Amino acid sequence: MRILMIGAGGVGDAAARIAVERDFFELLVVADYDLARAEATVANASARREGETRLVAAVVDASDGAAVAAVAAQYAVTHVFNAVDPRFVMPIFRGALAAGASYLDMAMSLSQRHPEEPYAKAHVKLGDEQFAMAGEWEASGQLALLGMGVEPGLSDVFARYASDHLFSHIEELGTRDGANLAVHDADGNETFAPGFSMWTIIEECLNPPVVWDRARAEAAGGDVEAGFSTLPAFAEPEVFDFPEGIGPVECVHVEHEEVLLMPRWVEADRVTFKYGLGEELISILKTLRTLGLDRTDMVTVKGVQVSPRDVVAAVLPDPATIGPQMKGKTCAGLWVTGTGKDGQPRRTYLYHVSDNEDTMREYGAQCVVWQTAVNPVVALELIANGTWSGSGVLGPEAFDAVPFLDLLKAPKPEGYGSPWGMEDR
């Protein structure tokens, strides 16, 4: 396997560090718009393994599909791994197709609100632009694996696992994400520093959250597409109790890929995503919306053109650098309710907890970033050894969950040594 990874930000950097421990690939090209950043990732990751020479750095403009295809061709890569923010999904996706490579990402093409009823009807949904090209991918014989991070990603693998092995009927597939992370500044004061890109947090939290209902789909004659509807931002707050000492966190509906992916491959009555934003972040997001600082179009400020949301992201600490000041754990997981294989009512939380102390010590990466980065590397390994195979545009649910969950959990050096858990409630 010859991989072109686009993006040497926090997740790309952590993915490189995780990947060098594994033998499944022969080349990993780390490409970024900033060559120095790509070179630093290559140097730091390679230094973790004696004699490591499989990583090389390159420059690429992720917004230009032809440039992506050119770098892919230059290195004869077999797989393009997209590790930049979702604004660049489509050029990278098209670039990979043009280069005849397979493709993997951790976030899907962006949504557009319904022009008349944004808080009721779905319009252009997450991933719609990608699924619209499914025929071309099938024709090429290549695989495009969408949403293969932790959420989406591991959460979707859990959905397939629950359906195959735990439940005979699923009422709700409810991704639930919460954390007890805190960041302290040099003076020891708790400070606001989100665990991943503020650009993405604004995007997913202020967009109308999407839910899927089987009843809506059935009313439309079984059309999966008809099952989607939207809610106002921050809708239906719910306190969810997270495991391993994190405890109760207030969660609200958020627009997220799982809701778009799961109904395509897994049977359920309802699919939701709720994120444990907490009071402070909700208040911050509402203020940004009130002021218009969530805007992504360019505004003129004293003669220069700038996007307000980029400014918000730029003044906050870089999520990739806050690891040393961070304490706590983050939990990604799937809350499944319905009827078990034994015919009895069942309520199960499948989850994966990442402790910042562990990920900093072992990988020099903060826990949210590390947890996102490990899953696509596991998936690439399963694809490399042929355990997972397919063509066309697919989600993680399209593949057998067991080998993924086994490889993730198995102690090193066989596996990735990162256990997941299951709690019946």
* Residues of this chain that bind a second copy (CB under 8 A): 192, 280, 283-284, 287-288, 290-293, 295, 299-302, 304-308, 310-312, 314-316
Q: Give the residue with the Cβ less far from a second copy, 307 or 391.
A: 307
Q: Give the residue with the Cβ less far from a second copy, 267 or 280.
A: 280
Shortest reach from residue 307's CB to a second copy, in Å: 8
Q: Give the residue with the Cβ less far from a second copy, 189 or 344.
A: 189
Shortest reach from residue 60's CB to a second copy, in Å: 16
Q: Give the residue with the Cβ less far from a second copy, 76 or 299.
A: 299
Q: Give the residue with the Cβ less far from a second copy, 168 or 321.
A: 321
What is the strand order of the sheet 190-191 is part of?
190-191, 182-184, 326-327
Shortest reach from residue 233's CB to a second copy, in Å: 15
Shortest reach from residue 305's CB to a second copy, in Å: 7
Q: Give the residue with the Cβ less far from a second copy, 156 or 294.
A: 294
Shortest reach from residue 236's CB to a second copy, in Å: 23
Shortest reach from residue 411's CB to a second copy, in Å: 42
Shortest reach from residue 234's CB to a second copy, in Å: 15
Shortest reach from residue 115's CB to a second copy, in Å: 14
Q: Give the residue with the Cβ less far from a second copy, 6 or 373.
A: 6
CB 83 within 8 A of CB 103: no
Q: Give the residue with the Cβ less far from a second copy, 74 or 283.
A: 283
118: exposed, middle or buried (C-beta count within 10 Å: 0-12, 13-18, 19+)?
middle
Shortest reach from residue 306's CB to a second copy, in Å: 5
Q: Give the residue with the Cβ less far from a second copy, 130 or 197.
A: 197
